[in-house]
Every structure is written in C-alpha cells, then in structure tokens.
Amino acid sequence: MAIRVRCVLFGVPKSADHLADRLLELQALTAGLVEHFAFAPAPGVQIRRAPAQIMIPLIKGKENKGTQMPLLVSIVE
C-alpha cells in the first residue's frame, strides 16, 4: 500500500489569502493518516495534560523534557 500526500503547507507564502488553503491541506493530511493508520498510547507511559496557551501532553516524571506524546502506530487492514 502506498500513500501519496502532496503537502505544500510550509511552501506557500504566509498570508491571509492562503490560510484557508493551508488549513484544508492539513485537514486532508490528517484524514489520510486517520483512515490508514491506528494510533494508541504507548504502554506503560502515563500522560498528563498541562495548560499552556493550549493543552499540551507531558509524560509524568519527565515534564522537564518538554512536550511528548509517545504513540504506537499500526497499519489498518
């Protein structure tokens, strides 16, 4: 199985005119990943939510290492 994604998210000028296009490409990329792959939290790792400007994931006991979200990724058949 081959997944081809054309993503020029960072190649377009950063103006308000292209914001909708970049958002649409990011949504299409995310939909493709969710459709073809299964995501699960890594076993034995406790994740906690930390408030910032948005909620960020941190591993309990390793908060000083910054934002982390270890996942197991497998192909959906």
CB 18, CB 11: distance < 8 Å: no
- Using alpha carbons, select from 7, 12, 11, 14 the residue that is nearest to residue 30: 7
* 71: pLDDT strictly greater than 70: yes
Give the CB-side neighbour count of residue 5, counting CA atoms within 13 A.
15
Token pair, residue 27, equals 């949504």
pLDDT tens per residue, range 22-67: 788 889 888 888 889 999 989 999 999 888 888 889 999 888 898 8
How is the chain split into domains, by residue range?
16-75
- Using alpha carbons, select from 7, 10, 71 the residue that is nearest to residue 37: 71
Which parts of 1-77 fold into alpha helices (H)? 16-36
